[in-house]
Chains A and B, each alone.
Chain A
Amino acid sequence: MLDTIAQLSKSYSRWPDQSEAVKQWQDKGKKVFGYMCNHIPEELLFAGGILPVKFLGDSIPIVDANQYHALFMCYFARTVVEMGLQKGFSKLDGLIGVYSCEGGCNIFQIAAEIVKPPYYQFISIPHDNKREKQEMALEYFTKELNVIKTSLEEYLGEELTAAKIEQAINVYNENRQLLRQVYDARGDKEWPGFTGVEVAEIMNWVVEVPKDEANAKLRGLLAETAARKLPAASGPRIHVSGTLFLDNEIFQLIEDLGGMVVSDDLCMGSRYFWDDIKLPAEKTADKLIEAIARYKLDKVPCSCMCSSYVAEDRLEHIKKLIEKYQVNGVIFAVHKWCDSHQMDRPFMIRQLQEAGLPVLSIEVERNIGDAQGRNRIESFLEMIGGDAHVAG
């Protein structure tokens, strides 16, 4: 792994109470909030000088949390409750949740009841928000975001002005552009700038640190890797579909076995940053918040959404990435107990197979399951062909 990326890894922790980035931010007298799902309006928090840190979960045993939630929840969500019980969120000033998926909805609220942070908000997002429902869903969700704005202003004792919100949107949009450049660099067939493992680590880091600082570091990283000459991968080029992982095991396995992860549609991947917020002509706070709401509803959908053609829209995104990054095979790595993704998976697999793509579907619980996962991925890569390793 590139030294610069290894250094970035030291600046955050999956446990917010141990994160250097959290400590540095709070040392400046500023607040840090935790969140779980991409549907949270990070820009509004950042506009108020709050550092939003995403819950990454961790590959830990569940010890006490089973007394609080059913076992039928994805392991990621369960580790969030466990971390809450083990004081992992004790330094957070606030928690902000959203009803995206059904498991996450319950789990986040339980975590909040355990942690009892000084600030706590939870909002609803319309899941059926396209086509004939688009305008009414937008109006409703804009009002939900305004609830957040008002409560943040009360909490902070200061107004979230249009200028602050616009500035935050610009920082976040720049971050999205830089991450797309990182993806393009990784996807370069001839001279890949990053390995899949490195990009996975960049994604972990970027959701835990202030975006303005992240942007400066990403610019440096892109300049550094422009001159880097990674050998081109001759093994299969893989797209990974799913949500997020509790460690980088799957990326490491694929690349150790001779493949290369060149694309994904993960929550902690392209679905986090693929689209930009379109700034409105009129830069009032109301219009800017509406623009954030529109972005959240229009972006590449998570499987928890229920709009018409929602799996079809997600599939379009995957197909575009497959073409752009010249993918040879797709691995669905879906968490056990994740209803939303499990529901869409058979349709998406059928469609990809009909388009001629080899597809492997594996179930993730705490992790991939070393020996079994390794065997299945190895067989899949062999089936596709190629045996070269990606150096890095």
Chain B
Amino acid sequence: MSQVKTDKSTKSIETTKQVYPMVKAYYAEANKVAQDHSKKICYVTGAGLVDIAWVYEDVLPIFPENFNAACAAKQITPALLDIAEGAGYARDLCGYFRNYTGYYLGGKDLDLSFPGGGLPIPDFLMGDSSTCNFHLKWWRETERLMEYKVPCYLLEVPYIPPRMDYDALESHYLDYTVKQIKGLLEFIGKVTGKKLDEDRLREVVRLSSEASELFEETQQLRKAVPSPMGSEDALSVLMPLVQWCGTQQAVDFYRNLRDEVKARVDKGIGVLPGEEKLRILFDNIPPWFSLGIFNYLQKFDAVSVIETYTTYFHYSRGKLDPDKPYESLARKYLYNCWFMTSVREKVENLFTRYAQDYKVDGIISYALYGCKIATGFLPYQAKYMQEKLGIPSLILEGDMVDPRDYADGPVKNRVDAFMEMLLEKKNKG
């Protein structure tokens, strides 16, 4: 079995330390539920849709994508990836998909330390396409994998084309998403045998909104100089939003996080002990097996101050209205992830605004060969940012969970050169 040496990260934020125990306890519960069948286990994929699962008290949502990221953090993915590829799945497919497929095609029987003891078998599947359509194909492949015995409902969030302004969605985009949300709730009702509780739905929307608002507040606080929280923490504290958005647990977590980050900003405490010389925007899904790369930047007095990935799982445009639960959720799913928005809107508005608001000196994009929607336009984006804003980009290439093609030494060499160039540029003013 291949063993790949990469760096684990070290954190600055106390609240981050709560994440791992939460995840561990959650998986323990999930495996208990898988045994006693006290709840229906559903696999959720996409970005944001998990809140719908929390409307039903006897449903336990599991996010296999997180399982894959956790496998990568534990550096146990190579054996699982090998199995999937041996079954004919191309090496350049999404790493999450390959790792999960390898787990089910025999990997689960290997003597590996799986996060939470492994994935419990689902009773049903639900997913959305707000990050990519590949998620939907992944769930269709899961239907086959489970021999068509596990029912599935997919919510396809329409891609927002270049003709449409982010602030003026055409009504059929909203209508189509609302209809599917209703269809999904009806589907869960059928699977669980429970009637939809509209009050509970409104409550979940309220909680989803509150967690989103607290997280967005934290994101705004990160504009401060020096940066109070770097990517090595931000990417880890995303988990409760991914898994528990729509619950009080997520709200409590993000309140703690917001308070801690606010206190750091008020006191002027930054990630670095000394001067913060460079501010970096990290773009795309990170290499989960090597989050230490963010700490490595600190060698150059640089902090990765903001990420694109942390914008994708919450509603960042104000409050969701619990009295219009369907429309509110539709807006959340339509707006949350930039991948499903035109290249023009993504690059010229969303990305540009982020780079400017967070006063970044440089951009590191992680181009994922298994993720065409997130990666295809990155050189275009880098060119645009250099030519229009004078902000240089470094594009690293790899996969989010597959360390086999990740060459730590050459990656660091490239980072070294990029950082030196940024420092020189900054010194020249």
Contact = CB atoms under 8 A, between A and B. Distances in A.
Nearest to A144: B172
A137 to B, nearest CB: 8
Contacts of B414: none
Contacts of A106: 343, 372-373, 376-377
Nearest to B348: A113
A343 B92 CA distance: 10
A226 interface: no
B183 interface: yes
B229 interface: no
Interface stretch (A264-272, A302-310, A379-387): A302-310
A279 interface: no
Contact of B133 (A66, A102, A350): A102
Interface string B61-94: 0000000000000000000000000011110111
Residue among A103, A105, A350 with the highest chain B CB neighbour number at 10 A: A105
B383 interface: yes
A99 interface: yes
Interface string B24-44: 000000000000000000000
A124 B343 contact: no
Contacts of B180: 133, 136
B136 interface: yes
B58 interface: no
Nearest to A343: B137
A174 to B, nearest CB: 32
A346 B137 contact: no
Majority-rule SS of A interface residues: helix
B93 A342 contact: yes
Contacts of A306: 129, 133, 136-137, 140, 154, 156
Contact of B161 (A99, A128, A132, A136): A99
Given A102-B376, A110-B377, A350-B88, 8 more contacts: A70-B379, A103-B372, A110-B376, A113-B343, A124-B158, A336-B92, A339-B93, A339-B94
Residue among B156, B161, B373, B376 with the highest chain A CB neighbour number at 10 A: B376
Contacts of A349: 88
A289 to B, nearest CB: 14
Contact of A109 (B90, B372, B377, B379): B377
A127 B129 contact: yes
A345 interface: yes
A343 B372 contact: no
Interface in B142-163: 143-144, 152-154, 156, 158-163
Residue among B93, B172, B372 with the highest chain A CB neighbour number at 10 A: B372
A72 B375 contact: yes
A350 B105 CA distance: 15
B90 A342 contact: yes
Contacts of B153: 132
Given A106-B372, A336-B92, A347-B141, A124 B159 contact: yes
- Which 9 residue pairs spanning A and B have beta carbons closest together? A106-B376, A346-B88, A306-B136, A102-B373, A140-B176, A342-B90, A102-B372, A103-B372, A143-B172
11 contacts: A67-B383, A72-B92, A106-B372, A106-B376, A121-B161, A127-B156, A133-B180, A136-B179, A307-B140, A308-B143, A337-B372
A122 interface: yes
A109 B369 contact: no
A209 interface: no
Contact of A347 (B136, B144, B160, B383): B144
Contacts of B369: 70, 72, 337
Contacts of A117: none
Interface of A: 66-70, 72-73, 99, 101-103, 105-107, 109-110, 112-113, 120-124, 126-128, 132-133, 136-137, 139-140, 143-144, 147, 304, 306-311, 336-337, 339-340, 342-347, 349-350, 361
Residue among B89, B161, B367 with the highest chain A CB neighbour number at 10 A: B161
A51 B151 CA distance: 44
Contacts of A107: 376
Contacts, number: 156
A116 B243 CA distance: 42
Contact of B379 (A66, A112, A361): A66
Contact of A105 (B137, B159, B172, B379): B159
B69 to A, nearest CB: 20
A131 B272 CA distance: 55
A107 B378 CA distance: 11
B371 to A, nearest CB: 8
Contacts of A361: 88
A178 B140 CA distance: 35
B161 A122 contact: yes
B85 to A, nearest CB: 10
B134 interface: yes
Contacts of A120: 162
B295 to A, nearest CB: 27
A67 B89 CA distance: 29
B325 to A, nearest CB: 18
Contacts of B380: 68-69, 110, 113
B5 interface: no
Contacts of B372: 70, 72-73, 101-103, 106, 337, 339
B110 to A, nearest CB: 21
Contacts of A308: 140, 143, 152
